[in-house]
Structure 1
Amino acid sequence: MVKRKQVARLASDQPSRAKAQPWSNIEEEALAKAWIRTSKCSIVGNNQTSYGFWKEILAKFLTIMEQGPYRDLDSVASKWRKMHTVVNRFCGYYNNLYTNRPSGWSDDVVFKEAMRRYEDEHRVVFPHVRAWEVMRTNKKSVPVPNKVASAKRTKTSETGSYSAVGSDARCQISINDEPEFVDE
């Protein structure tokens, strides 16, 4: 039978797992840069394993941070998944406000209102601003304006009906017009 002192001595001989270190804003920004650079690689593209993808992100992250191997692959992948989920939620608020902004709102006003709405909804201040600044220029995060929803309606002179000016998504056909037949 093993006594308590022996168990304590055996436990102290085992290497303990390092305690998780909190991520700084600078590290989150570096992780976002590393992820974008790796995901945009035109040579490898989607033709790589998950392990290879995260190994490449880790290598780029460590190069950006210039501190040697102080984070491992699991911590980088785990942090990205958590951070990316939160950033995507914030992007939803920001992109909606950005594409449907009231007249006179600057990008700064849109950002502040998105921050306010995020905080009201989630009861916490959006924590990944630096990473979001990097990610928002990525094609996957850039707001795309809805031309049909934002087009102004004007009255046409011929029929008296309304049409969306600037919209290339609608075809103007009047069912009251007589079809034009070409004589053969």
Structure 2
Amino acid sequence: MTRASRNALAAGLGLWALLALPPLRVGLEATLAGHMAVQLPLLVAAGWWLGRVPGPVRADELAGFNRFGAPGVLLAAFTLAFWLLPRSLDAALQDPAWEAAKLLSVPLLAGVPLGRSWPRLPGLGRAALWANLLPMLGVMGWVYIQSPVRLCNSYLLDQQDLLGRVLLGIAALLGLYWVGWTFLGGLGRRLARETD
């Protein structure tokens, strides 16, 4: 095992274990924004690191099954879509079996597949996912702010409003990052190469 693989394994398992510890887990789940906008992405990040343990993605890796990364990305998307449902978040708070299922499935069925599949995804596929993620976050944020009833029974309306504002903020920051990278990063490097 290479040093990079050992580092990825330590980072993934360490973050996963940290997020499973009751003080941090309960603290993050105390607010809807912490539960959905912090805990779930960190669980995905733990799985992403674990997905990097085998090393860089090889061209022939799962070539027949995951040739362009789409099956792995779809598995991750469906897993995240399930855990973003208010009913699923409520169940995870009320039933230890659901909580355990969340702590296992998000890293293993969302993070690891993303870690192995994202590098295989063509640039156009990545751009399409980003282009769909930003409006989805915006719409979710708007729904959480505008809904007159609680969508998650375990959280009050003020928590729902806060989550909506956090999601809108995340969408805005990701949009600015994407535009900045496109025009200053990727496009800027391409133009610099063409002028040399």
Bin of the TM-score, shorter chain as denominator length: under 0.3
Larger Rg: 1
Q: More relative contact order in 1 or in 2 (CA 8 Å, sep 6+)?
A: 2
Going by fraction, where is helix more abundant, 1 or 2? 2
